[in-house]
Amino acid sequence: MSINKKDPLRKSEFITASSSLIHEIYSLENAKEDKKYLEKIGFPGEYPFTRGVHSKMYRSSLWTMRQYAGFATAEESNNRYKYLLSQGQTGLSVAFDLPTQIGYDSDSPEASGEVGKVGVAIDTLADMEILLNGIPLDKISTSMTINASASVLLALYIVVAEKQGISSDKLRGTIQNDILKEYISRGTYIYPPKQSMRIITDIFSYCKKNVPLWNTISISGYHIREAGSTASEEIGFTLSDGIAYVEAAIKSGLDVDEFAPRLSFFFNSFTDLLEEVGKFRAARRIWAKIMKERFHAKNPKSLMLRFHTQTAGSTLTAQQPDNNIVRVTIQALAAVLGGTQSLHTNSKDEALALPTEESARIALRTQQIIAHESGVAETVDPLAGSYYVEAITDRIENEALEIISKIDSMGGMVKAIEEGFVQAAIQKSAYKYQQDIENKNRVIVGVNQFSIEEKEQEGLLRIDDSVEKNQINRLKNIKNTRDQNAVKTSLAHLKTAAKGTDNLMPYIIDAVKAYASIGEICNVMREVFGEYKENIIL
């Protein structure tokens, strides 16, 4: 299963359907002499990167088509990955079940009823070996949506690659590893913020030396937007998270240019097409200025905001689910026009269940049609210079900068989270949005307007209850047959390291190699670090 990084379908000459030549970039005729235009918008691949992080963007290589998938067992998820890759997907994106995300084994009482339900269940190295069986880890990049237990999942990935004969310096991919947004909007945290930030900076440091091609964090606005924020809040809060991570890494002794080029971001794409395009352009410009002026980064790659996009799950409707194909198409188009580096398109049935193979294929085909038939990838930043798009870009930039300034005045993002400022702002925006829908000030087709009488949906993907039983039996077998002394010793060493200041990653990797489970590894750190308890805002 070979994945060619250079897209063979990209041409040296581009023409429209009517055989008219398309230029690489379109700008004002006298843009070279227009200083004001250059300062604000610039050119693709040049500071402040408003028009894109690469000079040619999709002219030379398309975005990575990375469909998020994972359900039930490692075997079933492995089969889905191989199917999607055979259909033209160009990167893996792994969804883990809830117990895996919060560091519980499948046989834990807390995991009951959740095993394999919203993602794949991973307990030990044995599961990860099955999940990645037959996948060429040196030829494909893998994104793993994992946060509180990201260190363990990355360790599992590294060890599986090693067992395949692939050294860690050849691995490409991303772990989300963005714990601050968990406290804000999603809730899959384990440890308190201070200890979580230590683990994150340990990952930064370890990967700089050992896994240099890996993106060590994907700073996520996606879940902030899903929780109800506005576009400007998504950018303002996400980039404030980014500032907190950069500050923590510098405080831990890392030079900004040692880790900043491996930072990446993850944004939502809503159906408001042109606002979303402006949002992505504004985010790049703000981040470039922050990294240059605030953190004095010198490497041009440190200034580049590279991002993955996922279409908006919260906009999908259970009513008339075929309408979701249209919504996703518009959202995907916004991401492409905004210059995303990789993209996941949601499936039409995700408001009802995990996607079927057929609906996942339609979602992938949506990306492929945009890439190869729409023409929007043939020139760089095709909406630049639009009075409306440039006005939106400026508005979102100004609103996001106001949010960042407010958070700075509070003492930074961790303080703002602890005081409940961010959560309260999102709740206020979410309430207004829902009120607009209920009052029909905002039309949602098929929900508050244009509804029809519908039959119960057929052919949905259901996770059989036997999945949990079988997964627990596999885990029990691993725990009974592994080298118990090796497990005990590795966990003891990890506990000592957690109490001290050593980088935790080598100890987690040793525990993984001994087939210690995710729950056992996370419980050791729970004992040392404690668990975070949310401050409920009323």
Domain count for the chain: 1
In a domain, 236, yes or no: yes
Q: Using CA atoms, how far apart are residues 420 and 417, in angstroms rounded to an integer? A: 5
50, amino acid identity: T
Residue 530 lies in a domain: no
For residue 493, give the DSSP letter: H
CATH number at residue 222: 3.20.20.240
Q: What are phi and psi of 25, to 5 degrees?
A: -145, 145
User: How far, rounded to the nearest angstrom, does the alpha carbon of residue 34 sit from its chain's CA centroid?
Assistant: 37
How does pLDDT run along the chain (538 residues), one tens digit per residue?
A: 333 355 666 766 788 777 778 888 887 665 555 677 777 788 999 999 999 999 999 999 999 998 888 888 999 999 999 999 999 988 898 999 999 999 999 999 999 999 999 899 999 999 999 999 999 999 999 999 999 999 999 999 999 999 999 999 999 999 999 999 999 998 999 999 999 999 999 999 999 999 999 999 999 999 999 999 999 999 999 999 999 999 999 999 999 999 999 999 999 999 999 999 999 999 999 999 999 999 999 999 999 999 999 999 999 999 999 999 999 999 999 999 999 999 999 999 999 988 889 999 999 999 999 999 999 999 999 999 899 999 999 999 999 999 999 999 999 999 999 999 999 999 999 999 999 999 999 999 999 999 998 887 777 777 788 999 999 999 999 999 999 999 999 999 999 999 999 999 999 999 999 999 999 999 999 999 999 987 655 4
User: In the block, which residue shows the tokens 């160009």?
Assistant: 90
- Per-residue pLDDT of 363-415, as tens digits, reads 999 999 999 999 999 999 999 989 999 999 999 999 999 999 999 999 999 99
Whether residue 476 lies inside any domain: the answer is no
Q: Return the beta strands (E) in 221-283 as ranges.
A: 263-269
> Is residue 512 one of the residues assigned to a domain?
no
Q: Please, are residues 217 and 390 in contact by the beta-carbon 8 Å criterion?
A: no
Range of the domain at 414: 31-373+380-438
Q: Residue 117: what residue type?
A: K
CB neighbours (10 Å) of residue 436? 14
Four-residue CA torsion sign, 121, 196, 189, 145? negative
468 within some domain: no
The angle, 0 to 180 degrees and rounded to 10, between the axes of the packed helices 323-337 and 273-289 is 30
The alpha-helical segments, DSSP class H, found in 290-386 are 323-337, 357-373
Neighbours of 398 (CB within 10 A): 12
pLDDT at site 2: 33
In a domain, 428, yes or no: yes
Q: Which helix (H) or strand (E) holds 142?
A: strand 142-145
Give 295-329 pLDDT, tens digit per residue: 999 999 999 999 999 999 999 999 999 999 999 99
Asked whether residue 12 is domain-assigned, the answer is no
Sheet holding 307-311, edge to edge: 64-65, 342-344, 307-311, 263-269, 217-220
The span from the CA of 207 to the CA of 96, in Å, is 22
513 domain residue, yes or no: no
